[in-house]
Amino acid sequence: MAALRGTLHVATLAAGTRRALGSLAGSCLADRCLWDKLHAQPLLGSVPTFDWFFGYEEAQGLLLPLLQGARAACPLRVLDVGCGTSSLCTGLYTKCPHPVDVLGLDFSPVAVAHMNRLLEGGQGQTPLNPGHPTSRLHFMQADVKNLEPVAASGSFQLVLDKGTWDAVARGGLPGAYQLLSECLRVLSPQGTLIQFSDEDPDVRLPCLEQGSQGWTVTVQELGPFRGITYFAYLVQGSQ
């Protein structure tokens, strides 16, 4: 149930979305139809994104030093697996002072269409502007357990997973390990994979250590945000 414990910005959601969230406890979070239904619900007010756990603002203190230290590649390639309609990709693109090439992947075509409209300024919105002139942002529909069609081995310096392991694991740990394997395959040997979660380290760390042999696995606390402590699980190659 780890993926359900994170605090959601429920006040910004339409009533239909709140009802959909209320039904998640009895659902399989690895089911694409569930996410299509959730992402199809309109957001209220001026907030165009929806974040599990927390958004870019809370994560930037961890992300920006990592990007600063990995500037041998220019622009830095960042992959967000299971991006949904989160502010993580858009925040990196619009606020990171370093040049980044960000790719957000999700298996929900509804989520991908929403984020592309946000990026391009659809429905009367202003297009997003990059924080660095050479930064880029793309969204694609893909199965994050099989990244072969969209990503070559070792092609990203930073891979982000915010709640995606949690959701995939609800369909069984083999799927979560497959997700981890693909993330590590596309990660450069000197790169970093970050899993953001509220799952306790005594549960997550043994899984990551088993599935990331040859990589260094560490954990950092984040928050508390709105009264909840989260964790950033870092899987890193040689620095």
Q: Kindly give the confidence (pLDDT) of every residue in the chain, 239 residues in length, as a single tens digit, with 9 standing for 90 and above.
A: 333 443 333 333 344 444 444 444 444 555 556 555 665 565 544 556 778 789 999 999 999 999 887 766 689 999 999 999 999 999 999 999 999 999 999 999 999 999 999 999 876 778 999 999 999 999 999 999 999 999 999 999 999 999 999 999 988 999 999 999 999 999 999 999 999 999 999 999 999 999 999 999 999 999 999 899 999 999 998 75
Residue 145 lies in a domain: yes
Provide the pLDDT for residue 212.
Answer: 96
What is the predicted pLDDT for the residue at 39? 56
pLDDT at 8: 39
CATH number at residue 106: 3.40.50.150
63 domain-assigned:
yes
> Quick check: is 228 in a domain?
yes
In the chain, how many domains are there?
A: 1
φ/ψ of residue 87, rounded to 5: -85, 5
Kindly give, in sequence order, each residue whose CB lies less than 8 Å from that of residue 124, ignoring residues fewer than 6 positions away: none
According to the model, what pLDDT value does residue 22 have?
47
User: 10: which residues sit within 8 A by CB, 6+ positions away?
Assistant: 18, 21
pLDDT at 153: 97
Q: Which residue segment(s) compose the domain that 66 sits in?
A: 32-38+49-237
Tell whether 214 is covered by a domain: yes
**In Å, what is the CA distance from 33 to each residue of 4, 60, 131, 228?**
18, 31, 34, 29
In terms of phi and psi (left: phi > 0; alpha: psi -120 to 50; beta: otherwise), the region of 174 is alpha
Sign of CA dihedral 32, 33, 34, 38: positive
10 occurs within a structural domain: no
Question: Is 18 part of any domain?
Answer: no
Quick check: 34 and 28 in contact, CB under 8 A?
yes
- Around Cβ 26, how many Cβ atoms within 10 Å? 6
Helices 15-22 and 32-39: crossing angle in degrees, nearest 10, is: 160
Q: What is the pLDDT of residue 25?
A: 46
